[in-house]
Chain A
């Protein structure tokens, strides 16, 4: 009787709640602080700009607050107070006036603040709709994007400050230890001297094997069964290779040799072609104003010629520092690949 009673008892199982994974605030390899950002708006935004805000948040993943909520009563001080303990280092602030929209990029807690006028913008949905085969793999946004700065060669202090700001927005990478499979996205900032406009683009990186016929590459990349009705033998599928389109012509400049395997197709020590496909959002920006503080303080640069107080000693000191930066950046930014070298410098 006792044995039977013991048998009926059920064991008590205590379930522990799963704790969310904590993001590291410091890069374990380089030992540097990982930059994080808040993307929010000031004032009431129309629907397209709200969508642009969401696209920017996705672009800044994984080190941003994707579901950041804001209320009318929130002021900049509130975000600043929250940014401190969370380790947020940059603010992206969208606002709109009757004339046009503006994007402010600021470093916390004390600035500086760069104000850009958004001349044109296209949403990620618009760009996906304009493509025949929009691409969005599931792990595209699990790693942060790389950044390429082009055209920032002139030695103007505002451009240098812009370059430094954007380079520091994205986390640095260690050339010795990085895995190329984590490099999935790239952000391009191209400066046009004549028009003084900055083209902001966001691409996804795709690698294709080189030296393989088109049909076999298609067969390997996709899981679809080919149509063999018109063929008499399996060997015909390999022999009769179709012609590729002009855009698929492999260029020597666009091929790389990989140091590790990426995906199922691209093997180490073999050549692969780099293919970029735009993901969006797309913006055309113009640098309008630079403020010393966080959306406040002295105006260091103004496109409309209202900057004043340059005679002060503080400005002179900053001017000197900027001049030093000018020389170095001139050497660095001579070619596009030096941008990646800048990252190396950061690491070292």
Chain B
């Protein structure tokens, strides 16, 4: 009971302070008087508990203050809405005043205020004070620590001395790397092109401007061939000059000369076409001579056997020769 009486007295003291501060606020407070009385009775029990807890925590250290800060938040929602609004307003005002005082005075005033709070023994006031102070202090300290760490890191870094400075020197290195890569790519492409060209040019030889012994030998061989051909043509065409193929006698002579020339060029001895031998002997000799000469030649060139027969028929009679020619024509037509 005595404790209860003591609790009521400091409440009245607080009210007086508020009245002195502002006229408007005093009028509002008068209106609110009756409901606060009812709530106070209920709060006494809670306040007693809080006081005991605070006393125990004060003996320990700052941890108690943190706990106190958390407690009033829970109490506020329980009270009525209207009452909570008014209390919030009062709390705001008180916090503003105290923050101003702290900023102006310094550490000494903060200690004084703490003492005053303990004297009053009001849980709300003490909690509010703690809340206000801690975040500012922690933020500042955190900022200090962060800055300290960053500064230390910067100082620890060992940057090589460059005229361009660290950032520009890095850029310069990047450019150098890019150029090196480009050059490497060009080299690779160039090598690939060279390989391709080497493959394409394989076997392609540029001839010398002079004629070496091999080339001279080849030219001499070709010249001999051309000379032989031209001489043969000359002989053949000179021999048959002045002869008219339409006449029978001239035709016979032309045939004889062609055969003689052919055999002479072959290098084989030709039989004397002109002589006292009889016609029958001549025909038989021609057949014998021509067969071994012509048959293998035909075989060489993969000719059909029918052509062989045609050639066999030719020397027998003029009519047979004509038949052979017609057969040749027919074969050509078929082709």
- Specify which chain A residues have a CB less than 8 angstroms from the CB of B332 in the assembled complex: 26, 31-33
* Chain B interface residues toward A at CB < 8 A: 199-209, 214-215, 218-219, 221-234, 236-238, 240, 258, 261-262, 265-267, 296-297, 299-301, 328-329, 332, 335
Whether the pair B223, A259 counts as a contact (CB closer than 8 A) is: no
A345 at interface by CB-CB < 8 Å: yes
Please pick, from A47, A118, A175, A190, the residue contacting B232 in the complex, using a CB distance under 8 A.
Answer: A175
- Specify which chain B residues have a CB less than 8 angstroms from the CB of A139 in the assembled complex: none
- Specify which chain A residues have a CB less than 8 angstroms from the CB of B329 in the assembled complex: 31
Q: A122-B205, A146-B226, A256-B230 are in contact. Are A341 and B301 (CB under 8 A)?
A: no
Query: Considering the chains assembled together, what is the distance between the CA atoms of A31 and B328 in angstroms?
Result: 8
A64 at interface by CB-CB < 8 Å: no
- Specify which chain B residues have a CB less than 8 angstroms from the CB of A327 in the assembled complex: 296
Please pick, from B203, B222, B266, the residue contacting A276 in the complex, using a CB distance under 8 A.
Answer: B222
Whether the pair A346, B221 counts as a contact (CB closer than 8 A) is: no
Q: Which of A176-205 contact B (CB under 8 A)?
A: 176-178, 180, 183, 186, 188, 190, 199, 201, 203, 205
- Specify which chain B residues have a CB less than 8 angstroms from the CB of A337 in the assembled complex: 224-225, 228-229, 232, 265
Whether the pair B301, A199 counts as a contact (CB closer than 8 A) is: no
- Specify which chain B residues have a CB less than 8 angstroms from the CB of A118 in the assembled complex: 203
Whether the pair B222, A203 counts as a contact (CB closer than 8 A) is: yes
A121 at interface by CB-CB < 8 Å: yes
Interface residues on A, range: 35 or more
Q: A33-B332, A321-B299, A328-B297 are in contact. Are A121 and B230 (CB under 8 A)?
A: no
A257 at interface by CB-CB < 8 Å: yes
Whether the pair B236, A176 counts as a contact (CB closer than 8 A) is: yes
Query: How far does the Cβ of A44 sit from chain B's closest Cβ, in whole Å?
Result: 11
Whether the pair B262, A344 counts as a contact (CB closer than 8 A) is: yes
Query: How far does the Cβ of B279 sit from chain A's closest Cβ, in whole Å?
Result: 22
**CB closest residue in chain A, given B214:** A199
Whether the pair A126, B225 counts as a contact (CB closer than 8 A) is: no
Query: Considering the chains assembled together, what is the distance between the CA atoms of A173 and B208 in angstroms?
Result: 34
Query: Considering the chains assembled together, what is the distance between the CA atoms of A47 and B200 in angstroms?
Result: 7
Please pick, from A47, A190, A282, A331, the residue contacting B221 in the complex, using a CB distance under 8 A.
Answer: A190
A150 at interface by CB-CB < 8 Å: yes
Q: List 13 A-B contacts (CB under 8 A).
A: A31-B332, A33-B332, A98-B199, A101-B202, A121-B205, A122-B205, A148-B225, A148-B226, A175-B233, A176-B240, A274-B227, A274-B230, A344-B262
Query: How far does the Cβ of A7 sit from chain B's closest Cβ, in whole Å?
Result: 56
